[in-house]
Amino acid sequence: MSRKSGLNAPPPACGRAPARKRVALLVETSSGYGRGVLAGITRFMRMHDDWSVFLEQRDLTQSPPKWLTGWDGDGVISRATAPELTAAAASGLPLVEIADREEGRAQIRSDDAAIGRLAAEHLYDRGYRRFAYCGFSGEAWSARRERGFVEYVEGRGGRCERNHVSWLGPGALPWDVDRGRLGEWLATIPRPLGVMACNDVRGQQVLDACAARRFAVPEDVAVIGVDDDDLLCRLSSPPLSSVIPDAEGVGYRAAELLAAQMNGEPTPPSAELIPPLGIATRQSTDAVAIADAGVAAALNYISQHACRGISVDEVVQNASVSRSTLERKVRKHLGRTPQEEIRQVQVKRACELLQTTDLTIERIAALCGFEHPEYLHVVFKRITGRTPGQFRADAAAGRSKSPHLVDA
Quick one: 129 exposed, middle or buried, by C-beta within 10 A (0-12, 13-18, 19+)? middle
Confidence of residue 408 (pLDDT cuts 50, 70, 90): very low
DSSP string computed for 283-299: TTT-S-----HHHHHHH
**Per-residue confidence (pLDDT) for residue 73, from 0 to 100:** 86
**pLDDT at 35 exceeding the cut of 50:** yes
Q: What are phi and psi of 307, to 5 degrees?
A: -80, 5
DSSP state of 239: P
User: In this structure, which amino acid lies at residue 234?
Assistant: R
**pLDDT at 10 exceeding the cut of 70:** no
Q: Cα separations (Å) of 366 from 297, 344, 348, 373, 374?
A: 25, 16, 14, 8, 11
Helix (H) or strand (E) holding 314: helix 312-317
- Please choose, from the candidates 333, 248, 246, 266, the residue with its C-alpha nearest in 3D space to the C-alpha of residue 295: 333
**pLDDT at 1 exceeding the cut of 50:** no
Task: Report how far residue 362's alpha carbon sits from residue 107's, in angstroms, rounded to the nearest whole number.
Answer: 53
**Per-residue confidence (pLDDT) for residue 4, from 0 to 100:** 38
CA-derived radius of gyration, the chain: 25
pLDDT by residue (tens digit) across 182-210?
A: 999 999 999 999 999 999 999 999 999 99
Confidence of residue 149 (pLDDT cuts 50, 70, 90): very high
Q: What SS3 state is found at 24? A: strand
Q: What are phi and psi of 300, to 5 degrees?
A: -65, -40
pLDDT by residue (tens digit) across 39-94?
A: 999 999 998 888 988 887 666 667 777 777 777 889 989 887 666 666 666 677 88
Contact assessment for residue 26 and residue 54, using Cβ atoms and an 8 Å cutoff: no
Of residues 296 and 113, more confidently modeled: 113
Contact assessment for residue 200 and residue 242, using Cβ atoms and an 8 Å cutoff: yes
Q: Quick one: what percent of the chain has pLDDT higher than 90?
A: 48
How far separated are the first and last CA of the chain, in Å rounded? Answer: 66
Average pLDDT over residues 135-149: 94
Contact assessment for residue 30 and residue 60, using Cβ atoms and an 8 Å cutoff: yes
What is the Cα 313 distance to its own chain's centre? 37
Of residues 141 and 99, more confidently modeled: 141
Neighbouring CB atoms inside 10 A of 163's CB total: 19
**pLDDT at 404 exceeding the cut of 60:** no
Q: What SS3 state is found at 194? A: strand
Contact assessment for residue 227 and residue 197, using Cβ atoms and an 8 Å cutoff: no
Of residues 268 and 47, more confidently modeled: 47
Point out which residues pair with 272 in neighbouring strands: 108
User: 369-406: buried (b, 16+ CB within 10 Å) or exposed (e) per residue?
Assistant: bbeeeeebbebbeebbeeebeebbeebeeeebebbbeb
| pTM of the shown model | 0.70
Task: Report how far residue 336's alpha carbon sits from residue 106's, in angstroms, rounded to the nearest whole number.
Answer: 47
Neighbouring CB atoms inside 10 A of 356's CB total: 11
**Per-residue confidence (pLDDT) for residue 169, from 0 to 100:** 65
**Per-residue confidence (pLDDT) for residue 167, from 0 to 100:** 79
pLDDT by residue (tens digit) across 199-248?
A: 999 999 999 999 999 999 998 999 999 999 988 999 999 999 999 999 99
User: 248-265: buried (b, 16+ CB within 10 Å) or exposed (e) per residue?
Assistant: bbbbbbbbbbbbebbeee
Ranking 175-179, 314-318, 396-400 by mean pLDDT, the lowest is 396-400
Contact assessment for residue 325 and residue 293, using Cβ atoms and an 8 Å cutoff: no
Q: Cα separations (Å) of 280 from 126, 283, 402?
A: 14, 10, 7
**Per-residue confidence (pLDDT) for residue 373, from 0 to 100:** 93
Average pLDDT over residues 345-355: 87
- Top-ranked range on mean pLDDT: pick from 108-117, 262-271, 280-289, 323-332: 108-117
| Mean pLDDT of the chain, nearest integer | 85
Domains of the chain with CATH codes: 21-109+248-275 (3.40.50.2300), 112-247 (3.40.50.2300), 293-396 (1.10.10.60)
Ranking 108-122, 143-157, 198-212, 288-302 by mean pLDDT, the lowest is 288-302
**pLDDT at 8 exceeding the cut of 50:** no
Task: Report how far residue 218's alpha carbon sits from residue 199's, in angstroms, rounded to the nearest whole number.
Answer: 18
**Per-residue confidence (pLDDT) for residue 199, from 0 to 100:** 96
**Among positive and negative, which fits the CA dihedral 295, 297, 300, 301?**
negative
**Per-residue confidence (pLDDT) for residue 294, from 0 to 100:** 82
DSSP state of 59: -
User: In this structure, which amino acid lies at residue 231?
Assistant: L
Residues in the chain: 408
Please state whether beta strands 278-280 and 241-244 pair in parallel, antiparallel, or not at all (unpaired): antiparallel
**Per-residue confidence (pLDDT) for residue 214, from 0 to 100:** 93
- Please choose, from the candidates 11, 77, 66, the residue with its C-alpha nearest in 3D space to the C-alpha of residue 44: 77
Confidence of residue 387 (pLDDT cuts 50, 70, 90): very high
Average pLDDT over residues 9-24: 63
Average pLDDT over residues 329-355: 87
**Per-residue confidence (pLDDT) for residue 93, from 0 to 100:** 82
Average pLDDT over residues 124-128: 86
DSSP state of 191: S
